[in-house]
Amino acid sequence: MASAQPAGEEKPSPANFADCCRLCNVNLRANGVGQLEGFQKIFDQPKPKKPGKKGEEPPTPKPPFHERLSAVGVVLVRREADGASERICKQCIRDLVKIENALPILTRFQKNDDRALVPTSTTTNASPTPTQLSAVPESHAVLQTTPEADGIEKEMVPTATQTPTKLSTIAESRAAPLPKTPETSGIEKRLREPTPTKTPRAVKKLCSTASERELKKPPTRTSTTQVMVTYQSRLERPDIITCEDSLQGIVENLARGRLKTAARLMMTCDSLSEELKSHMLHIINRECKNLTAANSDSILYKSTSHHLQQFSLQSLHSDLQKLAPFALSVLDTITENSTHHSTASAAVALRGRNSKLSAFAYFINCVLQAGGAKTAVYRRLSKMGLTTTQSNARLKQEEIAKSCGEGLFALKKAIEDHHANKSKANRPLPMTMSCPITDEDIEDLEVGFLDISLDEAAPHPMDDEAAPHPMDDEAAPHPMDDEAAPHPMDDGAAPHPMDDEAAPHPMDDGAAPHPMDDGAAPHPMDDEAAPHPMDDGAAPHPMDDGAAPHPMDDGAAPHPMDDGATSDPQPLQAPSPPPPKFTLGFDNLDFNVQTHHQSQTKKNYQIHWTNHIAVQDRVSADHLPDDQPIKPLPLYDISDSLPTPDTWAALRGDFVVLGCQYLTRYVTAFRPFASVVINHIPHQYSDIMSQPSTEFPLGLLFKNETQSGDLVDILQHMQKEYVPRTPDGELLPIFVGGDRLSEGCSRNMQWSFGEGECREDRLGGLIFFFLDWHAIRNLHGIHQKVFLKEASSRDHGTFYANLNKIQNSNAKKGPHSAYNAYKEAVHKDTAATFIAASLEHFGMDSPEDVPENLVPSHVREGTQEEKRRWLQDHVTQIVDKYVITTESGILRDLHDGVARESRPRPRERERHSCREPGCPKTFVYVRAWLKHERNVHGLDFGESSQQEESTAKPSPPARDHKKEHTEARLSFGLFLEDMQDAVREGDGERLMRLYKIALLYYYAYGHTQYAYSTLLLTVQLNALLTPEKAHRLTWNRFFNSKGGKGKNMPLDLHVEHDNNYIKSFLKGLGPNLTERSAARISKSLGCLKGMLHRTDEELGVACPSGYHHKGKFTQDIHSLVAVIREADLLTFTAGRSFNAFPAFDRNLFAGIKYDKMWDWIKDRLKLWNQKY
C-alpha cells in the first residue's frame, strides 16, 4: 500500500516498476542494472524448508506473503494491468515478521482492556436520548478524546454508547456511595463498569518522578507545634519550646519518623536549606582535599609515560568512589549515572583545583595527537581546562618517546639472563669451601652431616684431599648426554680428570664406573643404591631412597632429604622455560616535502629515513639443537632447492582445496557444499598463528639505507642495541628482515666486514633474510610480463581482453603501480578459468545452472565427510587434467636435467684415426676426418660426411596454442593464489616449498637478484643454519595484528603500513618537520596505539579493523566464464593461436638451460662456502 504524498512531490518510479519491492519501492537489481537479488514472490507459495534430522516431520509450510499481510491489515491484490510489482524485499519481510511477533502482545492488551469483572448491563451502539444524558451527573462526566492533527485534545462529554440502564446504574451507585470499609471498597471497585472499547480514552496522567518534582511552600498551618525537653537534673521542670511557623512541619515529621517529608520541608525553608547546602559543600570540599592530597595515590597524579599507558576511566571511577563518594553521587545525579561522563567531568574539575592532577588532560592530548589536531585546537581546549598547552603536550610526548623499546629491552635482558643461568649451571663448581670447618664446628651441629645445597656439589668437608669435581674444565662427558660426547664447554676431548685410565672413580676403593657415564652405575640421586664416593663400602648415598646412616653420623639419623626423614623432601626446581626470541624488520621511509614558497634557496626536497620494528617470535624452536649447521655446504643436495615429487604432490593438494573454494563461492549448484570445504588449510602451528603478534615499534633512524655509509651505521646500531650477549660477551644472533634490496645490500655490507678481528666487528650478530610481500609482488610482475599485452585486447579470452570485459582499467597499470587492483584481477581471471574447466568436466552450461542429477542421491543424503570426498575427487580430476599432469612433467624434466648436469661425468668423445698407414692424426668430427683423408692422402672410401641415419626431424605434432596459453595462465594463477594463502594462514613450511618453484620463475624471467636471494634462502634452511635457526626462519616471518585464522600478513607489509601511519603525522608538522620532531612522533606512536586500543576496549569504541572490504566478484567472474566458454579455450583444436601470442609454449620454464642453471648454482655454492 502506498503512502499519500503531497502534490508535486511524488517520488518518481524506476524505469521498470516490476523489478522493485511492492511495499518500499527499493530497486531489487544489484546496482540498479544487475540481476535480481534478495526478494520473495508475494502471491506464490514459499518453498518449504528442508527437514532437519532424519525422522523429524517436515516443517509446516508458511502461507503466501499476501495472506500474512492481510492478517495484519495490509491487503494486496494482483494488478497486472498497470504492471505492479509482485515482489517483496528481505527488509520488508523482516519488518513483517516483527509485526507478526508483536501481534499476540497487542491482542492480549486489547483483551485485558475489554474484560469486565461484574457485568451489570449490556452496551449498544444506539445514541442516548436527552433524558438518558440528563441521568448522568455533571460531576461524573466521562472524559472523551477527539483526535487532532497534532495530538489528542481532551473534552469532558458524556459517553454516547451506554444504555439507559447502565447509565442509571452508574448514577445511582455514585449518588449513594457505600460506607468506607475495606469490604465495601472492594465491592465498589467491582461495580464500576469500564468504558466500552470503542470509546477513546484520555491520556493517563503519570506521577512525576523525584527529579521532576518541584519543591512547593508548605500550606499555612493552623496548629501549633511544641517541643518538650526534659533534663535529668530537673525532671519536674521540662522546657517547652514553641516552634516557628517555618519549622513546625519539619519538627512534626521528624518526630513521627517521616524523614523523607521532613527532608523535603527542610529544603523549602530558606534559612535551613542554606545551612544544609553549606554543610554539603563542606563535605564535598573535604573529599576534594582528600583527593588532591599528595599522599592520596590518585591516578590523576600519575602522569608518567608508564602510568599513562595504564590509565583507565574505570580506575579513576574507583578512586572517586573510595575518596569522594558524596561528590561522585552529585556528578552521577547530574549525568544520570553515566560513569564515563561523571568520571571525565570530575577529572576536569579537579584539575581546576590542582593543576598537578593532569593525567586525564595528558590522556586527552594523546587522543588529539592521534587525530592530528592543530595548534588552534590545543589553544582553545587548554583555555577550557580540558587539555594542557601544546608545548606541555610535546614535552610529555618526548617523555613517552624515551620509553620506546622498553618491552624489547626487557625481552633482550630475559634472553641474556637465561643464557647466564644456563652457562652458570654448566660452569665447573668450586672444589673448596669458602671457609674451613673444624671438628668442633661439626660437633655443634644438630645433625651429624652437612646440609649442602644441590646447586653446589662441593667435596665433603671430611675429605683430606680436594678431589676434582666431575664437571671440571677438562673434557668430562656432559651429564645429560646419552653418548659420551665431550662437554660443549671443554677445550678438548681429554679423558675425565677423575678417571685413572680404567675409569674408576678416584675416591672409590674399587674401580666403580663414573656415575655420569652411560655404562656406569646409576646417579647417586637415583632410586638405586649407588655407592657413595666417600664410603669404604657400597653404602647408599644419604640422598638415596634407602635410609642408610651417613658415615659422619654418630647414629643412624636419617638425611633430611630422605623419604624416611621427619622433614619433607625438597624437590628439585624445574628449569624455567626460555624466553621467546624476536625478529627485526626494517624498511626505508621516503617522504616528499613540498615547500610553500619556493625560491632559489628554498626548494622541494625528499627525505630518506629508515623505520624499524621488532616482533616477538610466536613459534618457539628451543627444542631443536643450536650448536652446529645442518650439513656442510659441500654435501648440499640440489634437490633441496628444486621442486621434487613431494613438492608436486603437496601442490596438487593445495590446488584441490582452492578449486573447491572457487566452486562453492561462485557456482550455484555447489553452494550446498560450502560447509564441507576446507577454508583454512591446516598446519602444525595453525592455532599459534591465529594468535595476535606482539610488536615493539622502535622509531626512525635518520639514515638512508641506500647509502653505504648510512647502512653501516644502521647495522652497527642494530647489533649494538638489540643483539643479546652471553656473560662472556658472545653474540646471540638475531634475524633481520626487509625487502630483497635491503637484504641484499645488508648482506654485501656484512661480507665487506668479513676481515674483522672479532665477530662483533664482522657484524656476526645479524642474520639477514628477505620478506614475502615484495617477493610475491615481484611474481605478479612476472605474470604481467608473460600474459599482459595490450596487443591482445582483441583476442577474446586473454588476460588483457578480460580486463576490458570487466572494465578494470586500474589493473592495466601493473602490480608495481596498482598491486591490489592487479592481484584482484588475477584472482577473478583464475577463478573464472577454473570454473570454466569445471563446467566442461560436469557438463554444465553456466555457473547458475543447477542440474537435477549433478550430485548423486547417496551423496546428498550422506555425511559431511562423504560430501567432501565426492567434491574433492571431482576437483582432483579437474586439477590433474588441466594443471598438474603437464606441470609435474615440466618440473620433473627440469629437476632431472639440472641434477644430471650436476653429476660428474667424463667428457670423452669418440676419436677417429686416420686410415693412412703411418699417419698419427686423430679426429673428433667425422667431416674433418674424411676431409683430411681425401685432401691429404687422396683416400676416398665413398663415405658421406653426413651421418648414415636420417637427420630429418619428425614433424612436430599439431598444437593448440590457445589452450596451452589458457592452461598456463590457470597454473600460474593458482600458484600465486597458493602463495598468498600460505601467507594468510602463516604456513611457513608450505611457503618455503613454494619458493622452490618461485626460484624457477625468477631465474627464467631475468629476476636474478630475487633468484639469488631465493636460492640462498633454500641453502640456509637446508645447510647453513642450525636446526633451531632454520625453524625460526621458516615460521616467524608473518604478522597478525588482531588474531584469527587467515589473518596473517607478511612482516614487510606491516612495516609498510607503519610507514604510512608515521607519514600521516609527519605531514601534519608542515614546516616544523625536523629530525627531533620526527623522532618524538615515531618513538611515541607505539605507546599511543596501546593507549588508544585499551581505551577503545573500555569505552566500547569499534576501532578500524584495517580490512579492505572486497567487492562482490560473482558477476565479473560469471562474465569471464561466459567469454572463456564462448571462445572454447579449454577444448583442443589443432592449429589455432592468439594473434598476440602466435606460438605460445605451455612450458613457462622453456627458457631455462639445464647446464647454465647448474653452473649458476655451482658458482653460488662455491662463493657461499667461502663466506659462511
- CA angle 1132/1133/1139 to nearest 5° reads 115
Closest CA to 795 of 1124, 1018, 1088: 1124
Nearest to 68 by CA among 44, 85, 51: 44
- The DSSP bridge partners found for residue 737 are 585, 769
CA–CA distances in Å: residue 1048 to residues 134, 665, 725, 984:
86, 22, 31, 4
Q: What is the DSSP letter of 1038?
A: E
Can you tell me the distance from the alpha carbon of 612 to that of 685, in angstroms, rounded to the nearest whole number?
Answer: 26
- The confidence score (pLDDT) of residue 51 equals 60
Q: How far is it, in rounded angstroms, from Cα 1075 to Cα 401?
A: 13
What pLDDT is attached to residue 958? 83
Task: Check: pTM over 0.85? Answer yes or no.
Answer: no
The pLDDT averaged over each successive group of 10 residues in the chain (1172 residues) is 43 60 82 74 78 61 83 82 82 88 83 58 40 38 36 38 40 43 47 50 47 64 86 87 86 90 87 89 91 85 83 88 91 89 91 88 87 86 89 89 92 93 70 54 47 41 42 40 40 40 40 40 40 40 41 42 45 73 95 85 89 96 93 90 91 96 95 93 95 94 94 96 93 95 95 91 95 97 96 94 94 94 96 96 93 90 93 95 87 83 65 86 86 85 53 63 95 97 96 96 95 96 96 96 93 95 88 89 88 82 66 90 94 93 92 91 92 87
| CA angle at 450 for the pair 445 and 456, rounded to the nearest 5° | 145
User: Closest by alpha carbon to 225, among 265, 274, 270, 275?
Assistant: 265
SS3 342: helix
In the structure grid, which three cell numbers stand for residue 901, read together? 648436469
d(CA 750, CA 733): 13
What domains sit in the chain, N to C, each tagged with a CATH number?
17-48+63-110 (3.40.1800.20), 132-143+154-191 (no CATH), 226-268 (no CATH), 274-403 (no CATH)
Distance CA 78, CA 80 (A): 6
The pLDDT value recorded for residue 641 is 92
Per-position DSSP letters for 1088-1131, written without gaps between them: HHHHHHHHHHHHT-------------HHHHHHHHHHHHHHTTTS
Instruction: Give the β-pairing of 734-738 and 605-616.
Output: unpaired
Pairing of strands 695-701, 605-616: antiparallel
In this prediction, residue 1007 carries a pLDDT of 96
> What pLDDT score was predicted for residue 622?
92
How far apart are alpha carbons 825 and 801 in whole angstroms? Answer: 12
Q: What ranges make up the beta strands (E) of 390-507? A: none
pLDDT at 431: 54
Residue with cell 581546549: 381
Contacts of 170 (CB under 8 A, 6+ apart): 136, 140, 162, 193
DSSP, collapsed to helix, strand or coil, labels residue 1046 as: coil
The pLDDT of residue 542: 36
Q: Which of 582, 535, 539, 543 is nearest to 559 (CA)?
A: 543
- For the beta carbon of residue 232, count every other beta carbon within 10 angstroms: 5
**Three-state DSSP class for 120?**
coil
Longest dimension (CA), the chain: 172
Query: C-alpha cell of 450?
Result: 652437612
Q: What gap in Å lies between CA 260 and CA 997, rounded to an integer?
A: 85
What is d(CA 402, CA 1115) in angstroms, rounded to the nearest whole number? 53
Q: Closest Cα to residue 89, out of 136, 38, 50, 131?
A: 38
1050-1081 pLDDT per residue, tens? 999 999 999 999 998 888 888 888 999 999 99
Q: HSE of 682 in the Cβ direction (CA atoms, 13 Å)?
A: 4
Beta pairing partners, 770: 738
User: Do 609 and 592 meet the contact criterion of CB atoms below 8 Å apart?
Assistant: no
Residue at 894: amino acid letter: L
Q: Which tens digits make up the pLDDT trace of 377-402? A: 888 998 898 888 888 988 988 989 99
> How far, in Å, are 656, 777, 971, 1042, 1149 from residue 980 at the CA level?
16, 10, 15, 19, 22
The amino acid that residue 822 corresponds to is Y
